A = this chain, B = another copy of it.
Amino acid sequence: MNSSVVVFTGGVGGAKLALGLERTLPHGSLTIVVNTGDDFDHLGLRICPDIDTALYTLSGLANRELGWGRQDESWHFMETLEALGGDAWFKLGDRDLALHVLRTRALASGQTLSGFTAGVADRLGISARILPATDDRVATEVATDEGTLAFQDYFVRLRCQPIVSSLAYRGAELAAPAPGVLEALSDPNLAMIIIAPSNPYLSIEPILAIPGIRQALLKRSVPAIAVTPVIQGEAVKGPTAKIMSELGVQPSALTVAQHYDGLIDGFLLDTRDARLLGELPMAGATADTLMQTLEDRERVARAALALGHSLNSGTAEKAP
């Protein structure tokens, strides 16, 4: 049986599933394709929040209290920066900063984001492959009632308060998948593709907006499934439900499944939304998808893998 898995992910929620998958799958069989639409330049540094979340989560260095950044973090840089009049709305911990400084320098000297990320993952002892969706620049832009905002302006500085009218992924049309992404998607040993329970619009769409990746997903020869980021009409974390309302769609798991229609073959609903099973435009299954403990992550990973394998062997429940 094929054992390789590719997971598409954004930040925290997606990284939790990726960790669950990594702990469940055979060593070295997981490829994590990470959103780069949140990446931005700040204080002269290149910051890639979702890649860093993946690196920290997979290496066990993630800050569990904060839900972002590194564990055992200190904030002396930030305190001093603020005292000197610098922008303090995006918090950079003293330890976290090392990654941004090294990356900025590596990119300035011609290294690729994927090459740099692989080097760090290796140093942190991560066996999963962590790939940025692209080495090209893709920037998520949020059109709102307060004007068009760069993603982090909207997400962090303004705390998602502006009303979203549309989203754009600048650069995505011309972006090439990072080296390794298409290879992973066409690997003869690939068992399935999983879309993590990340925000479909802010975290997954910047990946799917890259033509080469979208094409590969449309032409997939293995099952693709998605894990719901919405439970009972509420996002587990972040502004997914708020954005869905503002974009004029029903904030529900069903809407997310419909959004992915054509790109996936199965959808993992939360048990609390089991009543939606019959309405899915693709095969479905249910699980308790809340991930608080490490055991939760492994449980959701196993449920996602089971759904994918069931589609491989033709046993999945097909929606009418």
Chain A residues with CB under 8 Å of chain B are 43-45, 70, 73-74, 76-81, 83-86, 93-99, 101-102, 104-105, 108, 119-120, 123
CA distance A257 to B102 in the complex (A): 45
A76-B101 in contact given A84-B120, A108-B44, A123-B84 (Cβ < 8 Å)? no
**Judging by beta carbons under 8 Å apart, are B123 and A95 in contact?**
no
Interface of A is mostly: helix
Partner of A45, one of B73, B74, B76, B101: B101
A94-B108 in contact given A102-B84, A123-B85 (Cβ < 8 Å)? no
CA distance A44 to B46 in the complex (A): 11
**Judging by beta carbons under 8 Å apart, are B105 and A43 in contact?**
yes
Q: Which residue of B lies closest to A46 (CB)?
A: B44
A101-B120 in contact given A74-B74, A74-B94 (Cβ < 8 Å)? no
**Judging by beta carbons under 8 Å apart, are B74 and A105 in contact?**
no
A105 CB contacts on chain B under 8 angstroms = 43-44
Looking at the assembled complex, report how far the CB atom of A288 sits from the nearest CB atom of chain B, in whole angstroms: 36
A85 CB contacts on chain B under 8 angstroms = 102, 119, 123
**Judging by beta carbons under 8 Å apart, are B101 and A86 in contact?**
yes
**Judging by beta carbons under 8 Å apart, are B44 and A104 in contact?**
yes
A95 CB contacts on chain B under 8 angstroms = 76-77, 79-80
**Judging by beta carbons under 8 Å apart, are A76 and B104 in contact?**
no
Partner of A77, one of B45, B94, B123: B94
Looking at the assembled complex, report how far the CB atom of A271 sits from the nearest CB atom of chain B, in whole angstroms: 41
CA distance A123 to B78 in the complex (A): 16
**Judging by beta carbons under 8 Å apart, are A98 and B86 in contact?**
yes
Looking at the assembled complex, report how far the CB atom of A93 sits from the nearest CB atom of chain B, in whole angstroms: 8
Looking at the assembled complex, report how far the CB atom of A51 sits from the nearest CB atom of chain B, in whole angstroms: 14
Looking at the assembled complex, report how far the CB atom of A37 sits from the nearest CB atom of chain B, in whole angstroms: 23
Give the one of A70, A97, A98 with max B CB within 10 A. Answer: A98
A76-B94, A84-B98, A94-B94 given. 18 additional CB < 8 A pairs?
A43-B105, A44-B101, A44-B104, A45-B101, A73-B76, A74-B74, A74-B94, A76-B93, A76-B95, A77-B77, A80-B94, A80-B96, A80-B97, A81-B98, A81-B101, A84-B102, A86-B101, A97-B97
